[in-house]
């Protein structure tokens, strides 16, 4: 299989040589079908994604042993491809990260002798922005819009309104608990909102907590009029989390440019390694962060390392960067920008593979603070819509829920083979999209120069 793949690669690479030979003297043109055939090997992409989603490396939380194993795999693959280390002989560079992990939650309603318990992962989930603590509430404001609402002990609002800025405003107004109503979406944050418990609730669970019918709650949340309510029974909210300072890892590989002038300019290709989940638990199945961006980055590094072996290309230098800490404030990226390995004034651009669409403004603003241009490499909306986070709820919980309520509104995770197939398709799309941006950056229509040794300009040494 490996031999067939190698023959296929060099057969297509020969096509690139022919294409180059037919171009005008002193310029190089690589047609899209040619590079598509060279970069985007589905078998290699599948291999990367399988490893990054093996039980030994999940859920890839920043600072965890599982993420360290995933980082070691990425470093080993870069080394085996012939991509050089970014600093001395180091592929993995450490930094200090502050992380906050919600560890679980309890949501109950009623007195000790008559208590209704809500099911974690089926009906509710602690939001990544929630603080740790216990609160009992008896009053609640139903706030369908971001306009001013009567203050009570708790607030219930549509899920989309729970932005960090809006949650901070509600905390300042005196709310102790915020219920975000919608589909459950596990998330992480760099730090919690101190003094505010934030809980995600399904619409069915939210209606049951109020003693309403589901369609009545839906209509109320779609309207404009806020309502201050006295709850039928006290609601007890307990969220447990853990703050830690951890040693985290970025992985960086380097390919030196071959043009005598342009090799002093750097293009960064970046992707995110970390995912979301509960430490030591398989309750969360993270289908949003399956490592497609990292797999695409490894495939791109394979392509450009092969190119560098036989051609005076790439002309500009390439840094392949895999960040951790992305789920919690993009701390890996910040660590690099604060202590870069290359003069940022000579860094031409950063291609960022597969960022979350909602993170793009934050990422571009962060890069701009350091004088960098960040270009997101996004998936088409149709492929983005396939991603989800699921809950692998124990069967006993599901059976109990069905016995009490007569139904189960739970979307089960697709089969592993189906998730893998979708991830490979997304990774291929990222490779193709990245190439359309990357090729013009590192291969320019200038006169060719002789191949120079792969000794790069010295990267800045850390003190």
Confidence at residue 4, expressed as pLDDT on a 0 to 100 scale: 34
Confidence at residue 397, expressed as pLDDT on a 0 to 100 scale: 80
* CA nearest neighbour of 123 among 386, 387, 407, 388: 407
DSSP 8-state secondary structure symbol assigned to residue 321? E
Residue ranges of the chain with per-residue pLDDT less than 70: 1-39, 408-411, 445-463
Confidence at residue 400, expressed as pLDDT on a 0 to 100 scale: 82
Confidence at residue 39, expressed as pLDDT on a 0 to 100 scale: 58
- Give 39's contacts (C-beta < 8 A, 6+ positions apart): 299, 300, 302, 303, 431, 435
Helix 42-52 / helix 65-81 crossing angle, nearest 10 deg? 150
Confidence at residue 10, expressed as pLDDT on a 0 to 100 scale: 40
Task: Give pLDDT tens digits for 133-185.
Answer: 999 999 999 999 877 899 999 999 999 999 999 999 999 999 999 999 999 99
pTM recorded for the entire structure: 0.86
Opening angle at CA 337, ends 74 and 256, nearest 5 = 55
């Amino acid at each position: 299989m490996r031999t067939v793949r190698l023959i296929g690669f060099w057969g297509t690479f020969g096509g690139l040589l022919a294409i180059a030979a037919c171009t005008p003297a002193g310029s190089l043109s690589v047609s899209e079908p040619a590079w598509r055939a060279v970069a985007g090997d589905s078998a290699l992409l599948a291999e990367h994604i399988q490893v990054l989603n093996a039980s030994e490396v999940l859920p890839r939380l920043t600072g965890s042993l599982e993420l360290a194993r995933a980082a070691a795999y990425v470093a080993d693959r870069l080394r085996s491809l012939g991509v050089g280390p970014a600093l001395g002989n180091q592929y993995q560079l450490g930094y200090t990260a502050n992380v906050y992990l919600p560890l679980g939650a309890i949501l109950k309603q009623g007195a000790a002798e008559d208590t209704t318990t809500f099911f974690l992962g089926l009906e509710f989930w602690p939001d990544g922005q929630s603080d740790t603590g216990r609160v009992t509430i008896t009053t609640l404001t139903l706030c369908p819009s971001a306009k001013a609402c009567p203050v009570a002990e708790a607030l219930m609002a549509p899920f989309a309104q729970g932005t960090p800025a809006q949650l901070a405003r509600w905390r300042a107004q005196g709310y102790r608990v915020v219920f975000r109503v919608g589909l459950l979406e596990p998330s992480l944050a760099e730090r919690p909102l101190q003094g505010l418990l934030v809980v995600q609730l399904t619409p069915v669970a939210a209606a049951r907590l109020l003693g309403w019918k589901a369609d009545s709650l839906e209509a109320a949340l779609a309207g404009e009029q806020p309502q201050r309510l006295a709850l039928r029974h006290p609601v007890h909210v307990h969220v447990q989390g853990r703050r830690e300072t951890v040693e985290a890892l970025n992985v960086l590989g380097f390919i030196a440019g071959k043009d005598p002038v342009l090799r002093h300019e750097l293009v960064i290709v970046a992707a995110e390694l970390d995912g979301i989940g509960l430490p030591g638990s398989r309750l969360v199945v993270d289908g949003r962060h399956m490592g497609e961006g990292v797999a695409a980055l490894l495939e791109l590094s394979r392509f450009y390392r092969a190119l560098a072996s036989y051609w005076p290309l790439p002309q500009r230098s390439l840094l392949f960067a895999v960040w951790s800490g992305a789920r919690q404030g993009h701390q890996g990226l910040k660590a690099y920008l604060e202590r870069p390995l290359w003069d940022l004034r000579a860094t031409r651009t950063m291609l960022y593979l597969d960022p979350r669409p909602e993170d793009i403004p934050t990422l571009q603003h962060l890069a701009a603070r350091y004088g960098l241009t960040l270009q997101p490499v996004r998936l088409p909306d149709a492929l983005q819509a396939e991603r989800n986070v699921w809950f692998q709820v124990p069967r006993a919980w599901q059976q109990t829920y069905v016995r009490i309520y007569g139904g189960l509104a739970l979307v089960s995770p697709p089969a592993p083979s189906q998730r893998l197939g979708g991830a490979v398709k997304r990774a291929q799309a990222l490779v193709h999209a990245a190439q359309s941006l990357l090729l013009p950056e590192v291969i320019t229509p200038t006169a060719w120069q002789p191949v120079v040794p792969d000794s790069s300009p010295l990267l800045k040494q850390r003190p």
